[in-house]
Amino acid sequence: MAFVSLAFFIFVAALTLVCFLVPKSFRWAVLLAGSYVFCWLNIRWLALVLLGTTRVTYLIGLWIQRVQDGRKAYMDAHKAEMDREQRKA
């Protein structure tokens, strides 16, 4: 599907319509699904790359959250033992 084609225009128009019909909290899922469909229609292996990239990014985000939660728990537990400079770092 070329960017300058009737099929692309119809695809974008349909995706935009669906995006505005769903609740605001689910728009990200509609746009993500639209990205997958667009990649699948153009180059099939690119959709698999996009799926893998999405999965890795999600897992890294979970890991970062876990590290931040651990750091916060450590700081809360050892706050009394630290001076002001150590708490800043």
Model confidence pLDDT, tens digit, residues 31-40: 999 999 998 9
* Residues making up the chain, counted from first to last: 89
Q: C-alpha 28: how far from its chain's center?
A: 8
Residue 74's pLDDT band (boundaries 50, 70, 90)?
confident
Prediction pTM value: 0.65
Which string of DSSP letters, residue by residue, matches 62-73? Answer: HHHHHHHHHHHH
- State the pLDDT at residue 58: 95
pLDDT tens, residue by residue, 19-73 = 999 999 999 999 999 999 998 988 889 889 999 999 999 999 999 999 999 988 8
